[in-house]
Amino acid sequence: MPPEDLMERLVNLCKRRGFIFPSAEIYGGFRSTYDYGPLGMLMLRNVKDAWFRSMVQLRDDVVAIDAAILSHPKIWEASGHLATFTDPLVDCRNCKERWRADEIEGVCPKCGSTDLTDARPFNLMFKTYVGPVAEEASVAYLRPETAQGMFVNFMNVLQTTRRKPPFGVAQVGKSFRNEITPGNFVFRTREFEQMELEYFVPPDQGAKWFEYWCDERLRWYRDLGIPESLLRLRPHDPEELSHYSSMTSDVEFAFPWGWGELEGIANRTDFDLTAHAKMSGQRIEYFDQATGERYVPHVIEPAAGATRTMMSFLLAAYDEDQVAGEARTVLRLDRRLAPYKAAVLPLSKNERLSPVAREVLALLQPHLMCEYDETQSIGRRYRRHDEIGTPYCVTVDFESLDDRAVTIRERDSTEQVRIPIGKLVEELRGRLAL
Ligand code: ATP
């Protein structure tokens, strides 16, 4: 059973161990923004790599791009974001606080007043100006989703890669939304990272590929260690659908405060390609030279959040147990997500041990992300690595000087085995399935 205050404990661990820091903390923090520390940046990269491996590397029907974050206003006019990407806002006339109208039911949560203004739409896109003069002609937006990068480059990708639907274009990168109520740690932030696939299919195959991607994406979370009981797929009601979608299901995770979205899988039909064709006056379509066939593909979009997903992996992995009568905190992270794969630990800080320990480190570094740690007692160092999810500790002791062997300790079982240094790389690569 997870502890009652799991969220607090996790936030605390993230700060204490260097996963996630409040941004600009020395200045009192900055409006629900966060910085990823030495461990957090490694783990976030592992989440994105695991996604990329599954969605691009292991497939022959998906390519990836990396589009600009600063984007042309026409993109967002065509996509509908300028007109519809809004939340209704009300101001409290009494305490001047500003709220999302759909979240407060007519009463100011701060002062209890019901003297509120009418709701006004507030656009969630960050607007900025490119160049030295802040004028309408130089308006740009920070992208609120990565998806449009794939739509506006559709013809470029089609022509340069000679693809035929069904095929996909993937992208991983930052997106920005001026969220009115960021919160729940990194669940909702104004700057976050997305992992999106736009999968282009012949118009009559939309339903089939939608099913396929729902199954495929659920499998991905399970495969990386989220238990079945904490995951579900929730189809949207018709009135809940976005303006571009004919069908959407969310992959949801059981957060400590309730179910929350990790990923939306939507059938965007030909909405985006058609809108950009109209706005730009360009032909955006698939043309088969052999058959003369011509059509605007439909799009199935699995759109996930990397930062939000990382948090769910951390929550699912958090555990507390007892080892030899002593309490420990352990992150049971999948080996692929763990920031460090191995820690190299000389039994003590001793001048005879450290050359061998450094030799072991140099041996492992080309193959895996390692940490070298020689301060404090060995027991405390094991605990520290349990707490950050390091799957293996490699201990160099005085016997190692004679027998040229080291001890490998496994995180979950705490089992220890002795391995010759000459076989260590092979052993760890095998165990970590690298
Ligand atoms: P929500 O309903 O939570 O605002 P959304 O339905 O607007 O999310 P999408 O536009 O479908 O989200 O974006 C795809 C994914 O991007 C989401 O499932 C989520 O994982 C991530 N995401 C969206 N907004 C944020 C945010 N403000 N902070 C962190 N991650 C986000």
pLDDT reported for residue 221: 98
pLDDT reported for residue 45: 98
What's the order of all strands across the beta sheet hosting 120-123?
A: 98-100, 86-91, 120-123
Q: 347-353: list long-range contacts, CB under 8 Å, 24+ apart.
A: 347/378, 347/395, 347/396, 347/397, 347/398, 348/374, 348/378, 349/374, 349/375, 352/398, 352/401, 353/396, 353/397, 353/398, 353/400, 353/401
Q: What is the dotted CATH code of the domain comprising 37-71+140-314?
A: 3.30.930.10
304 lines ligand 1 (CB under 6 A): yes
Give me the residue label for tokens 């990565």.
Answer: 146
As given in the structure block, the two tokens for residue 226 are 């989220």
Write out pLDDT tens, residues 300-351: 999 999 999 999 999 999 999 998 899 999 999 999 999 999 999 999 999 9
Say how many CA atoms lie within 13 Å of 30 toward its Cβ.
Answer: 11
Low-confidence stretches of the chain (pLDDT < 70) are none
CA of 46 to the centre of ligand 1 (A): 20
Calculate helix-pair angle for 38-52, 306-317, nearest 10 degrees: 110
DSSP letter at 59?
-
307 lines ligand 1 (CB under 6 A): yes
CA of 264 to the centre of ligand 1 (A): 8
- What distance, in Å, lies between the first and last C-alpha atoms of the chain? 32
Distance CA 398, CA 418 (A): 13
Distance CA 296, CA 153 (A): 14
CA of 85 to the centre of ligand 1 (A): 13
303 lines ligand 1 (CB under 6 A): yes
CATH topology of domain 340-431: Rossmann fold (3.40.50)
Name the residue with the closest Cα to ligand 1, atom 26. Answer: 188
175 lines ligand 1 (CB under 6 A): no
With CA atoms as reference, report the closest residue to 126 among 186, 88, 175.
175
Pocket test for ligand 1, best of 146, 172, 301, 308 (most atoms within 8 A of CB): 308
pLDDT reported for residue 242: 81
pLDDT reported for residue 63: 98
Distance CA 163, CA 156 (A): 11
Which residue intervals of the chain bear CATH 3.40.50.800?
340-431
SS3 327: strand
For 31-52, letters b (16+ CB in 10 Å) and e give ebebebbebbebbbbbbbebbb
249 lines ligand 1 (CB under 6 A): no
Distance CA 169, CA 149 (A): 10
305 lines ligand 1 (CB under 6 A): yes
Write out pLDDT tens, residues 177-235: 999 889 999 999 999 999 999 999 999 999 999 999 999 999 999 999 999 999 999 99
CA of 373 to the centre of ligand 1 (A): 38
β-strands 392-396, 342-346 pairing: parallel
Cβ–Cβ contacts within 10 Å for residue 236, how many?
16
144 lines ligand 1 (CB under 6 A): no
Say how many CA atoms lie within 13 Å of 87 toward its Cβ.
Answer: 17
pLDDT reported for residue 362: 98
* Pure H helices in 145-268: 147-152, 154-161, 206-223
Distance CA 231, CA 36 (A): 25
**Does an H or E element contain 280, and which?**
helix 271-280
Which residue intervals of the chain bear CATH 3.30.930.10?
37-71+140-314
Distance CA 423, CA 404 (A): 10
CA of 108 to the centre of ligand 1 (A): 26
Atom number of ligand 1 nearest to Cα 305? 20
pLDDT reported for residue 151: 98
Name the residue with the closest Cα to ligand 1, atom 19. Answer: 305
CA of 305 to the centre of ligand 1 (A): 6
